Chain A
């Protein structure tokens, strides 16, 4: 046996996040080659029951750091917790998901370990050391990096690595690790969590994204995209032009100064396809473009293009899908 692979299994609403399942699944695939064990760590308040889920995707052991101090994520508290697990398990790699909190925590933990995290990786192999591929310039290029230092700190882009089928028969070995927060770790407190509209699908984890650009002509017209999104359980995104016009909030923006997304299906409505936008969505599996300008660059990357007025095409698409 070589040193274990430690996985930060992020939770949300008393469940493992989909991205956490992907990370455990990938860690398990890596560990089989390396003859290592996967140790998952759950940090939070009331997260203990999720240990069996982590085990069903391949964690041989689950470390639980549970308590009211860990109810909400803060970088300081979670760094202290994760470092306690690192001390305990001496991992050869620490793998997290490249979500907002995962990326935040990876940087903090990497600094503790005097190294840099391989952030937002889209593939992972092992050749005497972990070798990862990660997009740069929002996906205009991809670099391959060898992670020389141990433990390696790696975050995996959500929706890229497949989740394994769960095996509920797997037994789970758990260990509760008591962590008393230092005064330093308590310098940041979460006062309030304000959720956006209930049931809003997050862009980075959505399977389908319906996105609107300058061609939407105004904020009120996004309701036709929201309706389409409702029919296919999609998230609604926007181009920088739509965000800068104040039609949508900045957290909806897809592109180089917004979010990089890779859904199964991306439906671009009234988006011409500026290079910054294409960079942020070109790794989508399928792209549909609806635009009245047949010369729009978006058609060059679209698997299926419809040249036409989106105010006619989108409602018709909605109707057809409801059939």
Chain B
């Protein structure tokens, strides 16, 4: 079972967003970058697929049970992020660096990933359900379209049997059980698993694992970013009162001032 996991390097969710001098993008000064949290869940699932496939096999057969490859489209700094993925347990990494700076909108990213993945053995491709920077939720669906393989988003459970997968997909107010033939692209939702931390041994061995860097010509973007702004500032908070004594006043405000109840 060869698993490919698509990774994006994003600002930590604790980042206080400051807009850069171009007025169109995040000021990167002082920003800590992480693996997008949903991609981390996708990677954990990929590692578990491999571990399950190799379980009980002799060492040599286990080594041939397939690889977990992480792939990312991004700037040179993304190599550090991919190295963390290798430390978590991925076998190899591929970084696709754009030949010229480009806004990494989903079609640009998915096109580059699809071109590279076409050349790689793959039984299953996992992505996060969305990157937590541009919140676009599109790369997975696009990748499936460009590779002409099935797609299921928002999975919270995955079971693989032969060349099929049975997944749970989150829907409003419940979940669906779907079956898909493989290879397929699946996107991970929170609840699928709890990602592991890299072990010391993992960190040491990651240094020796292959990380291939390729320069690619990005596709033409479909969107032009005109500006970035801060959300409207909320009026300063107001304390109605303390404890249960404040409740009648609160209800009065909700009914008469806010008129929301």
Contact = CB atoms under 8 A, between A and B. Distances in A.
Given A76-B150, A312-B244, A117 B138 contact: yes
Interface residues of chain B: helix, strand, loop or mixed (majority): mixed
Interface string A96-110: 000111011111101
B56 interface: no
Given A108-B142, A111-B141, A205-B172, A116 B106 contact: yes
A167 interface: no
Interface string A122-140: 0000000001001111111
B107 A304 contact: no
A257 B38 contact: yes
Interface stretch (A26-34, A38-46, A172-180, A275-283): A275-283
A191 interface: yes
Interface string A203-237: 01100100000000000000000000000100000
A208 B254 CA distance: 12
Nearest to A321: B251
A104 B144 CA distance: 11
B145 A193 contact: no
Interface residues of B, number: 88
A79 B258 CA distance: 42
Given A135-B135, A145-B225, A188 B178 contact: yes
A25 interface: no
Interface stretch (B8-16, B69-77, B199-207): B8-16
A262 B221 CA distance: 30
A143 B105 contact: no
A107 B244 contact: no
B13 A191 contact: no
A108 B142 CA distance: 5
Contact of B226 (A131, A303, A309): A131
B138 A192 contact: no
A140 B13 CA distance: 10
Contacts of A3: none
A188 B237 CA distance: 49
B236 interface: yes
A123 to B, nearest CB: 12
A52 B180 CA distance: 35
Contact of B150 (A104, A119, A188, A251): A188
B107 A116 contact: yes
Contacts of A299: 237, 239
A303 B258 contact: yes
Nearest to B236: A300
A76 B107 CA distance: 18
A87 interface: no
B151 A76 contact: yes
B11 to A, nearest CB: 7
B5 interface: no
Contact of B223 (A99, A147, A260, A294): A147
Interface string B133-153: 111111111101110111111
B260 A138 contact: no
A191 B38 CA distance: 25
Contact of B142 (A111, A147, A251): A111
Q: Contact residue range for chain A?
A: 35 or more
A79 B229 CA distance: 33
A304 B176 contact: no
Contacts of B175: 193-194
B171 interface: yes
A187 B181 contact: yes
B224 A196 contact: no
A90 interface: no
B228 A148 contact: no
Contacts of B227: 143-144
A138 to B, nearest CB: 6
Interface in B221-261: 221-231, 234-244, 246-248, 250-251, 253-254, 258, 260-261
B17 interface: yes
Contacts of B134: 136
Contacts of B229: 141-144
B251 A100 contact: no
Nearest to B223: A145
A195 interface: yes
Most A Cβ at <10 Å: residue of B26, B241, B242 = B242
Interface of A: 12, 72, 74-76, 79, 99-101, 103-108, 110-112, 114-120, 131, 134-149, 184, 187-196, 200, 202, 204-205, 208, 232, 243, 249-251, 253, 256-258, 260, 264-265, 275-276, 282-283, 285-289, 294, 299-309, 312-313, 316-317, 320-321
10 contacts: A72-B176, A100-B170, A136-B133, A140-B231, A141-B17, A191-B177, A250-B191, A275-B13, A303-B258, A317-B251
Which 9 pairs across A and B sit closest by C-beta, in order of nearness?
A107-B138, A115-B222, A107-B141, A111-B142, A308-B243, A111-B145, A250-B191, A140-B17, A195-B174
